[in-house]
Amino acid sequence: MAGLAAAFGSGAMTNNIGDLENAEVILVTGSNTTENHPVISTFIKRAVKHKGAKLIVVDPRKIKLTEFADIWLRQNLGTDIAWINGMMHVIIKEDLLDKKFVEQRTEGFEELKKVVEKYTPEYVEKITSIPKEKLIEAARMYAKAKSAAICYTMGITQHITGTDNVKSLANLALLCGNLGIPGGGVNPLRGQNNVQGACDMGGLPNVYSGYQPVTNEEIREKMAKAWGVSQLPDKVGLKVTEMVPMALDKSIRALYIVGENPIVSDADISHVKKALESVDFLVVQDIFLTDTAKLADVVLPAAAFAEKDGTFTNTERRVSRVRKAIDPPGEAKADHEIICELATRMGYKMKYSNVEEIFEEIRKVTPSYAGITYARIEKEGLFWPCPEENHSGTPILHREKFPIGKGKFHAIEYLPPAEQIDEEYPLWLTTGRILYQYHTGTMTRRVEGLNKIAPECFVEISPTDAATYGLSDGDMVEVASRRGKVVAKVKVSDMARKGVIFMPFHYSEAPANMLTNPALDPVAGIPEYKVCAVKIAKVA
Amino acid sequence: MKCTINGIECEFNPGQTILEIATKYNIFIPTLCYLKKSSAPTGKCNICAVEIVGKDELVRACVTEAEDGMEILTESDKCIIHRREILENLLAMGYHDCPTCPIPGSCELQDLVFRYGAKGIDFTKAKKEYVVKYITPFIRWDSSKCVQCGRCIQACFDVQVNNAIRIFEVDGDAKKVEDREFEESKVESRRIIERLKADFKEPILPAPDENFCVSCGECVQACPVGALKSSFEWLGPKKWEMKRVVTTCSYCGVGCQLELYVKDNKVFLVNGADRAPNHGSLCVKGRFGFRFISADDRLKKPLIKENGKFREASWDEALDFVAKRLSEIKANYGPDSIGVFASARITNEENYILQKFTRAVLGTNNIDHCARL
Ligand code: SF4
Ligand code: SF4
């Protein structure tokens, strides 16, 4: 998010999902697409199978998409900047860059060139263990395509260098002129149904809806007027990852948590739990009594998606309708109703006769949503930015120019992960999702069939490591990091590479996030979920 | 270019098939093996055969390109007799005892049998050694209903590209017909359909292979009969009894469009809606992972914790209490001592209201959400 915003001026997917079928080359990295975004993976697989697109997969795990890939680069964990710089090194050296694009639409090329100079394929091989011939081949394939799309997810962002990783991918796309064109783009595939919408609507400490900064006086005045208050706070607020430690030292006294379960999802959860326990007042609003809700002073029952009207904005910036199909159980209410009633009780009258009225208010104060109406998205959703009612929406961003004028290259050096393996903790652990469960499992673990297929947490380990530790399928192992330990079942699989184990994080009884490192990306505030050092031992 | 279908003048572009043109003009032509989203029609079932005035042989509408001035008849006697014969053959191939089928009323074969007046099968002669089983907890295969149209193969190999359907010899038991070619990632659906066609008379049938199937249900949605259906269709109310509501999936960020089938305030079935971005496709979570909505342990009343234990409370009590505590904390420690976690799970409208509440009412910008991708 922050990385793309710095490079282009907008943090969302640049191209739409359907456009993937127009790409000549698709580069997928840090995304196990077939399991995490299954329907997007069908676009990628169809592009490869029916349209002759070439696929480059860069991933330490042997994910399903590698079977469709023309080139698979298996990098060491946390070495993404190195291989991306390496590709750019080759592209510049072999003069495969899009000179016209670089000249007319970007800035900062000279600095980039200087930095990537030393990332020779040989040097990169040492860091990433990607054979130099393969790196060169991938660089050529990406650069020579008329249009090449990049897709990535948390495998790129959940590192201390997450923002820099994203900027590096942006560099690569800028270098080859792959922006503002069909079949191109840099596309972060977002994990949860409405992350995009939560950001768009100002569920962030620094911006109102439509990414309008809270620090801009004019905007603050506009919002204050629209909301009928005399003034609004002008200081950028705290990120989740800052609120947690501040709750521990009592500078945060109350937390109001809506529809999240940080006790299972956040890094180093024993720390998070302590923080939630130490606030004076904790309110949790959710559809189930989650592990987080159990710690609350007050729990408010909310409606599920099928029980309310509204809109979600998907990963491609498409705003689609959510429609009420049934009534919520018991006395549960839609989240907006609860908040409106609470606001009214706190002396600020908030009342809307229906959800569309809220949307109309959003349109009024949010330029990028101004042209979207419920009537227009009755059949099919629209892509923001959509500034006017006669605007057809924007499936592909940055066609003529970037919101910040020129695209910015960022010269970035490779930095190793925050935690290194050593004698005591000799294995790398990476975490992620699986097809059959979702996030903290609050919903999927209540679906019988899904649990039958994927009933429990596992530790995926390469056959080589399994042999070293004398482990076989079904054995129980204890995985320990500097922060905690978790016991789970062994799954020997050639999906894992030697020295790296994988665990899904959905299971609260074996929470992988007991182990993960809360070291933060300094800009985005995202913890390094994807790399930490662990040791394992068979449980008798 | 122009042609006529049943006397109606239709304009078309060169290369368009008769079926495409008819669809555009809302003229019904029956299809079984044709799957709109697949890369190429297989022309396997012959049910779409239509008459061209001046030609003896019927032609298949799904693969025949229209020509300028062509006069096409879709429901002539010749067509009807031909279709009746196909349908009777299809019925005889399986064991179509409709009362035991999960989808009466939404079966395409049943509709066509009525429409064209085909005779039912002789159950005393029909073979009964079929296989009925759950291939995954969600996908139920009843080989006695299969009409070998091949839509499931196109759905799995062309649309989802999960390449999970294999051919089975069915004789009381299902034995997989091994073929190295099926294991390649780019294998064409056509190859498998040809393989099926070659043994048309033998009891060899396509079905999901449990070793590869990821329960996306594309084949279930494509199957025109009751051969591949979900556990929910098997157990729940029938489609026509239910209300259909189109909405957006609440799992991942793809935002697939779903059709929820609802009865008595409960969701019983989910189908992919034919709209962008997914155009009917879903994954296992979106299609089959909806039961949490009506889980028994949903929160139904506000809860207040007293002496470490929750007790139920009325909305009035709970909200007054929250309002009071938040106001106190704001007064005593300042607005920035309060933090709000917004959510990637709730709607835009709700997130908007939540930030408005945080900023305008609580008076702080301390709002963020957990999914900082
Ligand atoms: S459910 Fe999906 S993966 Fe399984 S056979 Fe059907 S189409 Fe293929
Ligand atoms: S159906 Fe699957 S791919 Fe589509 S939005 Fe839902 S979870 Fe994502």
The whole-angstrom separation of Cα B112 and Cα A39 is 32
The whole-angstrom separation of Cα B46 and Cα B50 is 9
Ligand 1 centroid distance, CA of B279 (Å) = 16
Is the pLDDT at B123 greater than 90, yes or no? no
The whole-angstrom separation of Cα A225 and Cα A233 is 14
Q: Mean pLDDT of all residues in chain A?
A: 93
Asked if A318 lies within 8 A of B352 by C-beta distance, the reply is: no
Asked if B247 lies within 8 A of A50 by C-beta distance, the reply is: no
Segment A216-273, tens digit of pLDDT: 999 999 999 999 999 999 999 999 889 988 999 999 999 999 988 777 666 677 788 8
- Given a contact cutoff of 8 angstroms between Cβ atoms, the answer to whether A86 and A140 are in contact is no
- Find out whether the beta carbon of B215 lies less than 6 Å from any atom of ligand 1: yes
Q: Can you give the C-alpha Rg of chain B in angstroms?
A: 27
Nearest residue on chain A to B158, alpha-carbon basis: A46
Ligand 1 centroid distance, CA of B230 (Å) = 11
Segment A499-513, tens digit of pLDDT: 999 999 888 888 888
Question: Could you tell me the two tokens for B58?
Answer: 């019927």
Closest C-alpha among A152, A140, A149 to residue A184: A149
Asked if A193 lies within 8 A of B361 by C-beta distance, the reply is: no
CB-nearest partner of B281 from A42, A153, A260: A42
Ligand 2 centroid distance, CA of B267 (Å) = 17
- Given a contact cutoff of 8 angstroms between Cβ atoms, the answer to whether B372 and A525 are in contact is yes
In B, which residues are within 8 Å of A50 by CB distance? 39, 158
Q: B273 and chain A: CB distance < 8 Å anywhere?
A: no
Ligand showing the shortest atom-to-Cα distance for residue B286: 2
Segment A42-95, tens digit of pLDDT: 999 999 999 999 999 999 999 999 999 999 999 998 999 999 999 999 999 999
Ligand showing the shortest atom-to-Cα distance for residue B229: 1
In A, which residues are within 8 Å of B367 by CB distance? 202-205, 237
Is the pLDDT at B371 greater than 80, yes or no? no
- Rounded to the nearest angstrom, the minimum Cα separation between A269 and chain B is 13
Ligand 2 centroid distance, CA of A330 (Å) = 28
The mean pLDDT of A4-16, rounded to a whole number, is: 90
Ligand 1 centroid distance, CA of A455 (Å) = 21
CB-nearest partner of A191 from B253, B277, B343: B253
The whole-angstrom separation of Cα A493 and Cα A59 is 15
Which residue has its alpha carbon closest to ligand 1 atom 6? B219
Better pLDDT: A319 or B148 = A319
What dihedral do alpha carbons A119, A125, A131, A134 form, nearest 10°? -20
Sign, CA dihedral A70-A71-A77-A81, equals: negative
Asked if A254 lies within 8 A of B262 by C-beta distance, the reply is: no
For testing contact with chain B, the best of A43, A286, A305 (most B CBs within 10 A): A305
Question: Could you tell me the two tokens for B308?
Answer: 């470490």
For the CA of B207, the closest atom of ligand 1 is 5
CA A3 to chain centre: 12
The whole-angstrom separation of Cα A135 and Cα A85 is 11
- DSSP per-residue codes, B268-283: EEEEE-SSTTTTT---
Q: Where are the beta strands (DSSP E) in A79-235?
A: 106-107, 148-152, 186-188, 207-208, 212-213
What single-letter DSSP state applies at residue A244? Answer: H
- Find out whether the beta carbon of B154 lies less than 6 Å from any atom of ligand 1: no
User: Going by CATH, does the domain composed of A195-383 fall within 3.40.50.10860?
Assistant: no
Q: Among B38, B134, B139, name the best residue to mutate to test ligand 1's pocket (greatest count of ligand atoms within 8 A of Cβ).
A: B139
Asked if A193 lies within 8 A of B355 by C-beta distance, the reply is: no
Pocket residues: Cβ below 6 A from ligand 2: A 37-39; B 249, 251-252, 254-256, 278, 282-283, 285-286
Is the pLDDT at B122 greater than 90, yes or no? no
Q: Which amino acid is at B366?
A: N
Nearest residue on chain B to A433, alpha-carbon basis: B252
Q: Among B216, B278, B282, name the best residue to mutate to test ligand 1's pocket (greatest count of ligand atoms within 8 A of Cβ).
A: B216
The mean pLDDT of A366-381, rounded to a whole number, is: 96
- Find out whether the beta carbon of B50 lies less than 6 Å from any atom of ligand 1: no
pTM above 0.90, yes or no: yes
Q: What is the pLDDT of residue B124?
A: 80
Q: Mean pLDDT of all residues in chain B?
A: 91
In A, which residues are within 8 Å of B220 by CB distance? none
Please give the domain boundaries of chain B with CATH numbers for all domains.
2-75 (3.10.20.740), 97-235 (3.30.70.20), 242-298 (2.20.25.90), 314-369 (no CATH)
Identical fold between A2-189 and A195-383: no
Q: How far is CA B245 from CA A305, B42, B222, in A?
A: 12, 32, 20
Which residue has its alpha carbon closest to ligand 2 atom 2? B283
Q: What is the pLDDT of residue A288?
A: 94
For the CA of B258, the closest atom of ligand 2 is 1
Q: What is the pLDDT of residue A377?
A: 96
What single-letter DSSP state applies at residue A409? Answer: P
Asked if B277 lies within 8 A of A17 by C-beta distance, the reply is: yes
Segment A269-308, tens digit of pLDDT: 778 889 999 999 999 999 999 989 999 999 999 999 999 9
Q: Which of A297-306, B44-53, B74-83, B184-193 has the lowest mean pLDDT?
A: B184-193
Segment A189-205, tens digit of pLDDT: 988 889 899 999 999 99
Segment B12-40, tens digit of pLDDT: 999 999 999 999 999 999 999 888 887 67
The mean pLDDT of B72-77, rounded to a whole number, is: 96
Q: pLDDT band for B199, please (50, 70, 90 cuts).
A: low
The mean pLDDT of A465-470, rounded to a whole number, is: 94
Is the preceding peptide bond at A385 cis, omega within 30 degrees of 0?
A: yes
What dihedral do alpha carbons A483, A486, A490, A493 form, nearest 10°? -40
For the CA of A37, the closest atom of ligand 2 is 3
Asked if A256 lies within 8 A of B325 by C-beta distance, the reply is: no
Ligand 1 centroid distance, CA of B209 (Å) = 8
The mean pLDDT of B291-315, rounded to a whole number, is: 95
Q: Which segments of B37-186 does DSSP mark as H helices, in order? A: 77-93, 108-116, 151-154
Ligand 2 centroid distance, CA of A321 (Å) = 15
Ligand 1 centroid distance, CA of B219 (Å) = 5
- Find out whether the beta carbon of B139 lies less than 6 Å from any atom of ligand 1: yes
CA A412 to chain centre: 21
Top CATH class, A427-539: mainly beta
In B, which residues are within 8 Å of A205 by CB distance? 365-368
Top CATH class, A2-189: alpha beta
Q: What is the pLDDT of residue A417?
A: 86
Segment B95-115, tens digit of pLDDT: 888 888 878 788 999 999 999
First to last CA, chain B: 52
Asked if A255 lies within 8 A of B339 by C-beta distance, the reply is: yes
Q: What is the pLDDT of residue A142?
A: 97
For testing contact with chain B, the best of A45, A65, A232, A256 (most B CBs within 10 A): A256
Q: B333 and chain A: CB distance < 8 Å anywhere?
A: yes
Asked if B283 lies within 8 A of A38 by C-beta distance, the reply is: yes
Q: pLDDT band for B373, please (50, 70, 90 cuts).
A: very low
Is the pLDDT at A371 greater than 70, yes or no? yes
Sign, CA dihedral B176-B180-B182-B185, equals: positive
A185-222 CB burial, b ≥16 within 10 A, e <16: bbbbbbbbbbbbbbbbbbbbbbbbbbbbebeeeebbeb
- Rounded to the nearest angstrom, the minimum Cα separation between A326 and chain B is 5
Segment A418-463, tens digit of pLDDT: 888 999 999 999 988 888 888 778 888 888 888 888 889 999 999 9
- Per domain, the residue ranges of chain A are 2-189, 195-383, 427-539
